[in-house]
Amino acid sequence: MKAVVFALRSFGRELRSGEVLVLLAAVALAVSALTAVGFLTDRIGKAVARQANEVLAADLRLRSQERVPDEWRDLAHDYELDTAETMSFPSVVFSGDESALATIKVVSNEYPLRGSVRVSDTLFGEQRTADDIPAPGEVWADGALLARVGADVGDTLAIGELDLTVSAVLTYRPDQSIGFASLAPSVMLNIDDISRSGLIGEGSRVAYALLVAGDERAVADFNEAIQDQLPESVRVRSQEDSSERAYNAADRAQRFLSLTAVISLLLSAVAVAMSARRFAHRRMDTVALMKSLGATQGFVISVSFVQLILLGVLGIAAGSVIGFAAEEALSRILIDLMQQADLPKTGLRPIFLASTSALILLLGFALPSIIQLRNTPPLRVLRHDVMPPAPSHLFVGGLALAAVAALLYRSVGDVRMLVILIGGIIVIGGLLYLVGRGMVALLGRARSGVGVAWRYGLANVARRGRDSAVQVVAFGLGITVLLLLTLVRTDLLEGWRQTLDDDAPNHFLINIQPHELDSVASLFEASNIDRPTFTPMVRARMTTINGESVKDREYPNEDGKWLANREANLSWAASMSPSNELIEGEWWPLDYAGPPLVSIEEESATNAGLKIGDHLNFFVAGKEVEAEIASTRKVNWDSFQPNFFIVLSPGALDGMPATYISSLRIPEAKKPMLIGLVRAHPSVSVIDLGAILEQVRGIIEKASLAVQAVFLFTLAAGIAVLFAAVQSTIDERRFESAMLRALGARRRTVFLGVMAEFAALGTAAGILASAGASVLAYLVATRLFELPYEFSPVIWLAGVSAGVLIVCLSGYFAARGAVNARPADVLRSVGN
């Protein structure tokens, strides 16, 4: 109690004197960085997710074979959510004598809840965003459909018993990639017309959907509430299980955001740890004095602890305010950049998280220093060189790691990422420390061959052995994570850029008969479009795996079971598609003519429990085909190339009824040639990927922007934090430089000496950081983001220059003060 009162009283005095300001600043900086990054990642994450939800045209989609009962819609309204209804089914559409199969999309007034529909007023004309849905009696139809039946805007289409006027060309609807398999071009009409169409009744294959959207929490609550009560026939879809590509982009962006959160956390840890060391070091004399005046160990530790907590609380308060303000400013800019009306709001959670994080960091990283203080020998009042025994590495490391793990687990939530990061930190931290000590020793030896300034600087590095090594580790870790962030960001953006490549295919042609191949190809050539590559496709069913029926077999998971039991599309190829990557086994030789071999997509192989050497039997057009698994492949679905889960060796499917598919790029200006193609080959379906691509592009562009913005901010915050860390090492240098100047050294010499020391530390840290970041980035890129990763020498350059630059620059500002101080003042103040 006495200690608490004393601590409170003297805390005010310490604050006034500025003694504790550096640690206070470090805590405040950590909290503001964590708060701002927390807010930003939260809000941007939500914005990206919302964008991804466009693929559903809603946040949640309840699908059913029958009309979704009204009670679910009412329930959604109870949760203050918006709803819309849709139906879709295949039907033949007539225009005069011409007819074509179409996907009929029936929508209610509120559709779509997320994203927007786009139309144009003429075939292949300029697009605009539609504010509403087709009026009753009207229809919006896909351009390909209109071309096929020879109709245009203003004409009438007959659908069931309805005669509807085409009032616009439908160019884009957000949920068109759902039910991708149906493939037929769509027409959209008003739900009010549907009862008169005569199309809805016994035996019709209508997919009903209730769309739901609104506040994120409310959606989640609603989803939770309906989970157990929904009838079998109703299935719920949310963003996670929607379109693979859009989701991938959003998901990776989210991961990147949480990576930045983690990294700002680690940087903060570095700053807090460094400043806490300084805090403890500066208190050592006072503690020795208090002990000589009769303070007990318990008293010393209680006082320090209470003050540490007070400091934390103050730092947190200041940091929250700064972080909040910074985030407000940043999000304004982002709203502009991302062309969002607003970023989704978040609660005060980030402040809470940042605050508790800072407290945990403070305890995890400052406690060892504080506990060490307790052991300050009172003899220090007479012999200034006696120091408390250093706390054990195990204790310091263990406590720090425990703190970091606790924090990371909460903010990452992803165990795999956590393991990679913690493992990486332990290994890199340990290596940094060992190598740091080695370098410090080496540098010390190198001093005989250099000028006086360098000799002084290098001698200092060596003399401060353990301290220097600790600094190298701290700076090294800080730079490591900043480099890591840079690398991952580059990889991520590069991967996305490739997806968005202007040469990426924007159309699929399917259902091309073998005898049509030449004629289709010549049509393209006539329009000066490169001859497309045709990929064969055969419908088949898997019957047995290693002789066991696919129905009776046990599978590692449901996806695997589904894969083995469904009707599959098989293909064959002599060489592997460039969008595939061999994972295991071997691809057959180009001229292979032996017994059938098969290559399986890696993930499905895992899901279905298939491995190299397994025998698969397929039932194809009345015949059995047996093939042995020769390899597994990874498929880059982002490539928009035709890809198959199951690919056989050439010859295995000879004589089977095959159709061909192809993907190709058709420039916007040449699109009208498709009208001729569809007319000449009515059975060939043309799928315009343009809209889907655009959708993916929209998500990726926003995600990229978000990633860039958060990256820049984190980088800035990180550098600021490292700056603070350098400041915390300056005290001793102040005294030494004063002494040297008192001995007659010129200011310039002393200054150069201090800079030499920083340059040495910075180089050491930079080299270590480059090595660490290379390994970590490799792990993060390949394991977390599933991106290819290439080691690049540029990192080394960047790491070392960043190390030297950051440490020297912050050292420069710190050293300037130290060197400029009047020696007499400094030397006098030591006695106090």
Partner 1 sequence: MSDHSLSGTQVLEAHGLSKQVSSPEGTLTILSDVSFKISAGESVAVVGPSGAGKSTLLALLAGLDLPTAGHVVLNGSNLSSLDEDGRAQLRAENVGFVFQSFHLVPSLNALENVMLPLELAGQSNARSAALEIIRKVGLEERWSHYPAQLSGGEKQRVAIARAFATEPAVLFADEPTGNLDSRTGANIMKLMFELNRSSSTTLVLVTHDQSLAERCDRILSLDVGLLVSDERVAE
Footprint on this chain of partner 1 (rule: CB under 8 A): 2, 6, 9-10, 13-14, 16-17, 19, 285-286, 289-299, 377-379, 381-383, 825, 828-832
**Closest distance of CB 391 from partner 1, Å:** 17
Distances from the Cα of 673 to the Cα of 144, 527, 692, 694, angstroms: 11, 7, 21, 21
**Closest distance of CB 22 from partner 1, Å:** 13
The nearer residue to partner 1, 299 or 592, going by C-beta atoms, is: 299
**Closest distance of CB 9 from partner 1, Å:** 7
Cis omega (within 30 of 0) for bond into 344:
no
The nearer residue to partner 1, 293 or 415, going by C-beta atoms, is: 293
CB neighbour burial string for 171-189, b if at least 16 within 10 angstroms, e if fewer: bbbbbbbbbeeebbbbbbb
For every residue of 558-569, DSSP letters joined together read HHHHHHHHSEEE
User: Which H or E run contains 187?
Assistant: strand 186-190
The nearer residue to partner 1, 348 or 379, going by C-beta atoms, is: 379
Q: Using an 8 Å Cβ cutoff, are 142 and 96 in contact?
A: no
Q: In whole angstroms, give the CA distance from residue 123 to residue 133.
A: 19
Q: Dihedrals φ, ψ of 347, to 5°?
A: -80, -160
> What is the separation of C-alpha 605 from the centre of its chain, rounded to a whole number of angstroms?
26
The nearer residue to partner 1, 3 or 403, going by C-beta atoms, is: 3
**Closest distance of CB 302 from partner 1, Å:** 12
165 forms bridges with which residues in the sheet? 138, 156
**Closest distance of CB 18 from partner 1, Å:** 8
Name the nearest CA neighbour of 48 among 332, 223, 246, 245. 246
Q: Which residues contact 240 (CB under 8 A, 6 or more apart)?
A: 247
Strands 98-107 and 186-190: parallel
623 exposure class (CB count in 10 Å sphere: 0-12, 13-18, 19+):
exposed
The nearer residue to partner 1, 382 or 434, going by C-beta atoms, is: 382
The conformational region for residue 609 under phi > 0 = left, psi -120 to 50 = alpha, else beta, is: left
Q: In whole angstroms, give the CA distance from residue 436 to residue 462.
A: 11
Q: Using an 8 Å Cβ cutoff, are 172 and 691 in contact?
A: yes
Distances from the Cα of 208 to the Cα of 64, 67, 179, 736, angstroms: 5, 6, 12, 79
The pair of structure tokens assigned to 740 is: 């040297």
**Closest distance of CB 11 from partner 1, Å:** 10
**Closest distance of CB 290 from partner 1, Å:** 7
The nearer residue to partner 1, 19 or 82, going by C-beta atoms, is: 19
**Closest distance of CB 466 from partner 1, Å:** 18
**Closest distance of CB 749 from partner 1, Å:** 27
Q: In whole angstroms, give the CA distance from residue 350 to residue 320.
A: 9
Q: Which residues contact 707 (CB under 8 A, 6 or more apart)?
A: 253, 256, 257, 489, 492, 493
**Closest distance of CB 463 from partner 1, Å:** 16
Please report, as a single letter, which amino acid is at residue 757: E
The pair of structure tokens assigned to 360 is: 């945990």
The nearer residue to partner 1, 548 or 825, going by C-beta atoms, is: 825
The nearer residue to partner 1, 377 or 651, going by C-beta atoms, is: 377
The nearer residue to partner 1, 98 or 825, going by C-beta atoms, is: 825
The nearer residue to partner 1, 6 or 124, going by C-beta atoms, is: 6
Q: Give the CA angle between residues 188, 192, 194 to the nearest 5°.
A: 65
**Closest distance of CB 471 from partner 1, Å:** 24
The nearer residue to partner 1, 383 or 515, going by C-beta atoms, is: 383
**Closest distance of CB 829 from partner 1, Å:** 5
Q: Which residues contact 137 (CB under 8 A, 6 or more apart)?
A: 164, 165, 190, 193
**Closest distance of CB 736 from partner 1, Å:** 17
The nearer residue to partner 1, 2 or 205, going by C-beta atoms, is: 2
Distances from the Cα of 734 to the Cα of 206, 351, 575, angstroms: 80, 37, 69
**Closest distance of CB 745 from partner 1, Å:** 23
The nearer residue to partner 1, 129 or 296, going by C-beta atoms, is: 296
Q: In whole angstroms, give the CA distance from residue 112 to residue 107.
A: 8
The nearer residue to partner 1, 292 or 490, going by C-beta atoms, is: 292
Q: Where are the alpha helices (DSSP H) in 123-243?
A: 143-149, 216-227
**Closest distance of CB 744 from partner 1, Å:** 22
The conformational region for residue 268 under phi > 0 = left, psi -120 to 50 = alpha, else beta, is: alpha
- Number of Cβ atoms within 10 Å of the Cβ of 63: 18
